[in-house]
Amino acid sequence: MAPLIPVAKPKLPVASAILPYLKEIDANHWYTNHGLLWLRFQGLLAEHWGVESNNVALVANATIGLTLALRASGVRPGGLCLLPSWTFVASPAAAIAAGLRVRFIDVDPATWMPDPAAVAARDDLDEIAAIMIVSPFGMPFDVRPWDELSERTGIPVVIDAAAAFDTMRAGGPLAIARSPMVVSLHATKVFGIGEGGAVVCRDGEWLERFRRLTTFGFLGSRVSTAPGINAKVSEYGAAIGLAAFDGWTAARARFAALTERYRRRLGERGAVGLQPRFGEGWVTSTMNIVWPSDCQDGAARLAAEGIATLAWWGQGCHRQPAYADCLRDPLPATEDLAQRTVGLPFWLDMTPTQVDAVCDAVHRACGAEARGDAASRPRAAAPDGMPVRAQIARAVAAARSERR
Ligand SMILES: Cc1ncc(COP(=O)(O)O)c(C=O)c1O
């Protein structure tokens, strides 16, 4: 049976919001290859991130963006790329597509990211061709130690900022510094166009190399100066992006309200951990919790109540068959996080009633209620004695009527 509360329900601009831009495409007879809408969309992204227009390049998706970012950084084919296993499989896929070999490194459980001091102290840095750092689900972090490491050692650092569209906004908590950052505009992200990505870099020469690689090695002529591929975004993708910008302020406000409600409702009992820095001035499209060690079957218990969850990063990339043979450091923090982290339902049109139903179910699942961990806040759901699944169904029905 389909869950009563799904884990994700992406929402892109509706057809009527995109239509005016489609009509512009009809009138322009310009469908791809750096068209007028493409240019405007790229300009809006640059403004959003507080950089110059020529510091942003659109790309077909973030996976290809990461691959080409590594190539534009001049990585040595066959060299080793350090990257966390605690990421989505796109990160190691991009490193391998760029001709590198992967070595997985562990993360700091407090930040969900590798510790820059620990990486700087490694004794194998002379064997390392590149470092890929991942912002976990869009979380802000200090880029400076990575930039310093890159400058000191000459090892290129590329930042997988797939979910950091909002975190990187002008004045936002993730500052754009020296290392190139790659953002995904996939439908599941907080700002999506279906398939798409963008790369931000303040180094104009680097960005020019990157652009060439997205367009057959051409730049301003039909002379191919690098073995580039076709990673362009069409005018249709840009049309969705322009419409998404029209609705962004309202969408962001809803994501922020959802974030705040989850933070308050789950934080008030402290029974489960939240992803580091969740809700501290940034929004994303996922909501991850960390079960306490004594709660082995939290996800199954939520499923029994009709609430879907998803381990967005599975058991870590090193546990995926495709990457099981990659070199790796010991990964105890990754193993522990992977076993206990799960994504809860989180999507734009979720109502407060649905969030409360999920939070109550989480507290039931990890026994916080039985232990009486804290607040005695009454349940949002239904009369005593009603089966749990019926309570959730009632919450969903209430949510539907709230939306009307
Ligand atoms: C951490 C991370 N890196 C890279 C990607 C790849 O993005 P795309 O789907 O745009 O290729 C994703 C997608 O979800 C991601 O979560």
Residue 183 is part of a domain; what is its CATH number? 3.40.640.10
Asked whether the predicted pLDDT for residue 392 surpasses 70, the reply is no
pLDDT at 116 over 60: yes
In the 8-state DSSP scheme, what is residue 2? -
Two structure tokens written together for 362: 């989480």
If you average pLDDT over every residue of the chain, what do you get? 92
Residue where a domain terminates, one of 208, 242, 276: 242
The answer to whether residues 32 and 100 belong to one domain is yes
Q: Tally DSSP H helices, then E strands, for the chain.
A: 13, 11
Same domain assignment for residues 97 and 237? yes
Sign of the dihedral through C-alpha 366, 367, 373, 375: positive
- For residue 372, the enclosing domain spans 248-403
CA gap 345, 6 in Å, rounded: 6
Quick one: 387 and 364 in the same domain?
yes
Residue 8 maps to a domain: no
Q: What is the C-alpha separation between 262 and 256, in angstroms, rounded?
A: 10
β-bridge pairing 80-84 and 56-59: unpaired
User: Is 269 part of any domain?
Assistant: yes
* Cα–Cα distance for residue pair 215/35, rounded to 1 Å: 13
Backbone torsions φ then ψ of 327, nearest 5 degrees: -65, 150
Shared-domain flag, residues 48 and 87: yes
In order of 344, 370, 378, 396, the CA distances from 390 in angstroms are: 19, 21, 17, 10
pLDDT at 401: 55
Whether residue 134 has its Cβ less than 6 Å from ligand 1:
yes
d(CA 168, CA 42): 15
In a domain, 221, yes or no: yes
pLDDT over 90 percentage in the chain: 87
Instruction: Name the E strands within 115-173.
Output: 128-134, 157-160
Residue 198 lies in a domain: yes
- Residues 215 and 127 placed together within one structural domain of the fold: yes
- Domain of 390, CATH number, reads 3.90.1150.10
User: At residue 374, does pLDDT exceed 70?
Assistant: no
Examine the domain organization and report whether 199 and 285 are in the same domain: no
Tell me: do 66 and 124 sit in the same domain.
Answer: yes
Q: What is residue 393's predicted lDDT score, i.e. its pLDDT?
A: 58
Q: Mean pLDDT throughout 250-258?
A: 98
- Average of per-residue pLDDT across 343-353: 97
Question: For residues 190 and 162, is the Cβ–Cβ distance under 8 A?
Answer: no
Check pLDDT > 90 for residue 295. Answer: no
Computed over its alpha carbons, how large is the radius of gyration of the chain?
A: 22
Does 329 share its domain with 395? yes
Q: What is the C-alpha separation between 229 and 174, in angstroms, rounded?
A: 30
Q: How far is the CA of 184 from the centre of ligand 1 (A)?
A: 6
Q: Evaluate whether residue 67 is within a structural domain.
A: yes
CA angle at residue 287 from 283 to 291, to 5 degrees? 145
Count the helix, strand and coil residues of the chain and give each as a percent rounded to the nearest 5.
Answer: 40, 15, 45
Does the beta carbon of 158 lie inside 6 Å of ligand 1?
Answer: no
> What is the distance between the alpha carbons of residues 28 and 6, in angstroms, rounded to a whole number?
40
Asked whether residue 204 is assigned to any structural domain, the reply reads yes
Structure-model confidence comparison of residues 292 and 2, the more confident one: 292
pLDDT of residue 77: 94
Angle between helices 352-365 and 388-403 (to 10 degrees): 160
Residue carrying the six token digits 């495709």: 322
Note if the pTM is more than 0.85.
Answer: yes
Examine residue 2 and state whether it is found in any structural domain, yes or no: no
The atom of ligand 1 lying closest to the CA of 185 is: 10
| Closest ligand 1 atom to Cα of 87 | 1
**Domain membership flag for residue 10:** no
The length of the chain is: 404
DSSP letter at 75 equals P
Last residue of a domain, one of 242, 260, 278: 242
Residues 207 and 184: their CA atoms lie apart, in Å, by 17
Torsion sign across C-alpha atoms 325, 329, 335, 341: negative
For residue 50 the two structure tokens come to 């507080």
Q: Quick one: which of 205, 360, 366 has its CA closest to 273? A: 366
The last residue of a domain, from among 242, 268, 290: 242
CA–CA separation, 133 vs 174, rounded Å? 13
Residue 333: predicted pLDDT: 98
Share of the chain above pLDDT 70, in %: 91
Give residues with Cβ within 8 angstroms of 117, minimum separation 6.
145
Q: From CA 203, how far away is CA 224, in angstroms rounded?
A: 22
Residue 324 or 371, more confident: 324
Section 150-173 average pLDDT: 98
The closest residue, in CA terms, to atom 4 on ligand 1 is 90
Number of domains in the chain: 2
Q: Looking at the structure, do residues 137 and 238 belong to the same domain, yes or no?
A: yes
- Based on the fold, state whether residues 136 and 276 are members of the same structural domain: no
- The position carrying tokens 């050692």 is 153
Res 325 pLDDT > 80: yes
**Cα separation values, 115 from 46, 125, 134, 174, 268, Å:** 29, 15, 12, 17, 30
pLDDT of 368 reads 66
Angle at 278 between CA 242 and CA 162, to 5 degrees: 45
Same structural domain, 264 and 215: no
- Closest C-alpha residue for ligand 1 atom 1: 88
**How much is the average pLDDT of 128-135?**
98
How far is C-alpha 301 from the geometric centre of its chain's CA atoms?
26
Averaged pLDDT, 316-336:
98
Residue-level pLDDT at 367: 84
Please, which residues bridge with residue 101 across strands? 80
| Mean pLDDT confidence for 207-227 | 96
Q: How far is the CA of 316 from the centre of ligand 1 (A)?
A: 14
Residue 197 alpha carbon to ligand 1 centre in Å:
9
- Mention every residue, 6+ apart, whose C-beta is less than 8 A from residue 279: 259, 260, 262, 263
Tell me the sheet residues that pair with 344: 287
190 CB less than 6 Å from ligand 1?
A: no
154 with 270, same domain: the answer is no
Rounded to the nearest whole angstrom, what is the distance from the C-alpha of residue 340 to the centroid of ligand 1?
21
The confidence band for 218, taking pLDDT boundaries of 50, 70 and 90, is very high
CA 27 to ligand 1 center in whole angstroms? 34
